[in-house]
Amino acid sequence: MRRRELIVAGAAILAGGLTACVPTASANGRGGDSVLTISTWTAKEPGLKDWWPQLIAGFEAEHGGVTVRLREIAYADYQQQITTQLMAGAAPDVVHVPTPTTTLPVWAEAGFLLDMDDFLAGTDILGSWPSTQKVMAWGGRNYGVLLVDYGYVMFYNEAVLAAAGVSVPETPEELLLAAQRVAALSGDVKPFAIAADNSANFIRDALVFTTGMDAQWASDGKWAFSDPGVVKALDLWRTLGRDYAPQGTDIAQKREAFLTGNVAMMIEGPFYQATVKKTASASLVDSLQIAKTPFAISPGDVSHGFSVPQGLDATKEALALDFVKFATSMPMMEAYSQLVGSPVTRPGAAAALLDDEQRAVMANVAENMTPIIDPSMEGLRLHYFDFTQIAGTSFHKLLMGTDDTGTILAELQSELEKAGITP
């Protein structure tokens, strides 16, 4: 082969290789063809791994010629990757939004998401969804539909509580008493567990107590961490976390401690019950139960929802909105609740949970829950990371320091004001 032929051949190989690397319109679903892409981190999660195929098959059956492609992204990378894709205009046609309390404001504020008010006006969502749907709104406009919200539940080890001579606590005072009684037992079982790492779960576990004990840590657009009710609630959390819980546990270690019988009580999301029932040892599984949290108010949280990015062509946008409508329809939400074994946002869709005593607890607390972060706290939601950094420092002081709770919380309030973060 001559030199010239070699160079031509090399160039042809290069051109071919580069062409193969460039996605075509038909491959990525842009340009008005019939491929709809959806991103999620839940494709292989228990229950959801069965729900997604059912949802996709149902949608494809209703929309002849449409193919739905599910893009799975690991949860740890999800927010980062979707943000990058949204920025580059290469996001999926339907975006699964995790923890919308903090994620949705950033994406909506950046102009990445489609205003869905007109679409929602033609559905029953705004009329029938609970007030938690507000978490999918930003600046008074709706940028998505909430799929799942839940109330936290109390996980307890029945055998340990029985050995300690206490019943399942129903008030904060009973919770402290139960912790004291379990601590008095011989053996290594710790009474309670909290997440005490540097993540948002740490903050969440503390705020469960303030919401549950009806303590308002923000009011009239100002922080109120010095409020006596807040001090009382966080003092209880401090006492339990410092004196009755294993130290420095992240969320995985906290759950593991309960699962293995090393901890008698913890407050967690209800979805963890499926893991408990599936993976706890045979000698423990019957003892590991759930109940309503020992508070007058059921603290809760929002889990995830669906949004549609801006900039899709009209056909694709209509298809994406159709998909959201189909996914949040009663049959699909009922299927979700049954397959995942958790409550959903659509009212009445989790009725099947009431047949089971334990699942009924989940359904009841979800229906009556108050979110630990009110969706109207827009300043906090937009600067949540900085809030968690400042609050985390103070909460670590509560667990490891000696200053009284009121002093530490007054400092926290002052630090937040100094940083210019408003609720």
From 27-35, 60-68, 247-255, 354-362, span contacting other proteins (CB under 8 A): 247-255
Which residue lies nearer to other proteins by CB, 103 or 342?
Answer: 103
By CB under 8 A, tell whether 253 contacts other proteins.
yes
Residue 89 binds to other proteins (criterion: CB under 8 A): yes
Phi, psi of 12, rounded to the nearest 5 degrees: -65, -40
Stretch (H or E) spanning 266: strand 263-268
Q: Which is nearer to other proteins, 82 or 120 (CB)?
A: 82
The reply to whether 79 sits near other proteins by the rule CB under 8 A is yes
- Residue 39 phi, psi dihedral angles, 5° rounding: -105, 145
Per-position x/- string for 288-317, each x denoting binding to other proteins as judged by CB under 8 A, each - no binding? ----------------------xx------
**Virtual torsion, Cα 340, 345, 349, 351, nearest 10 deg:** 80
Q: Does 392 bind other proteins (CB under 8 A)?
A: yes
Q: Does 422 participate in binding other proteins (rule CB under 8 A)?
A: no
Report d(CA 288, CA 271) in Å as an integer: 14
How many whole angstroms separate alpha carbon 43 and alpha carbon 68? 13
Indicate whether 386 belongs to the interface with other proteins (CB under 8 A). Answer: yes
Least distance CB 310 / other proteins (angstroms): 8
| Residue with token string 């130290």 | 247
For other proteins, the binding residue among 34, 262, 358, 422 (CB under 8 A) is: 262
Q: Give 199's DSSP letter.
A: S
Q: How far is CA 38 from CA 68, 270, 326, 376, in A?
A: 7, 26, 14, 28
- Ranges of H-type helices in 112-227: 117-121, 125-128, 158-164, 172-184, 200-212
Residues whose CB is less than 8 angstroms from the CB of residue 233 and which lie 6 or more positions away in sequence, other chains included: 172, 209, 210, 212, 213, 215
Determine, following the binding rule CB under 8 A, whether residue 6 of this chain makes contact with other proteins.
Answer: yes
Give the CA angle between residues 344, 169, 290 to the nearest 5°. Answer: 35
Owner of token pair 């309670």: 192
CB 244 within 8 A of CB 178: no
Comparing CB distances to other proteins, the nearer of 199 and 414 is 199
Task: Check binding of 23 to other proteins (CB under 8 A).
Answer: no
User: Of the listed pieces 52-60, 250-258, 282-290, 319-327, which binds other proteins according to CB under 8 A?
Assistant: 250-258
For position 18 contacting other proteins by CB under 8 A, the verdict is: yes
Under the criterion CB under 8 A, does residue 27 sit at the interface with other proteins?
Answer: no
CA distances from 163 to 47, 157, 182, 289 (A): 35, 10, 8, 15
| Region binding other proteins by CB under 8 A among candidate stretches 221-229, 240-248, 274-282, 293-301 | 240-248
Please give the residues from 197 up to 236 whose contact with other proteins meets the rule CB under 8 A. 197-199
Closest to other proteins by CB, 263 vs 362, is 263
Read off the tokens for 59.
Answer: 């949608």
Nearest distance from residue 196's CB to other proteins, in Å? 6
Residue 374 C-beta: closest distance to other proteins, Å: 22
Quote the least distance from Cβ 190 to other proteins, whole Å: 7
Binding segment toward other proteins, per CB under 8 A, in 6-14, 39-47, 122-130, 403-411: 6-14
Q: Which of helix, strand or coil describes residue 301?
A: strand
> In whole angstroms, what is the distance from residue 248 CA to residue 294 CA?
24
Q: Which of 61, 64, 65, 111 binds other proteins (CB under 8 A)?
A: 111
| Residue 75, helix vs strand vs coil | helix
Using CB under 8 A, list all residues that contact other proteins.
3, 6-7, 9-11, 13-14, 17-18, 79-80, 83, 86-89, 106, 109-112, 190, 196-199, 246-250, 253, 257, 262, 310-311, 385-386, 389, 392-393, 396, 399-400
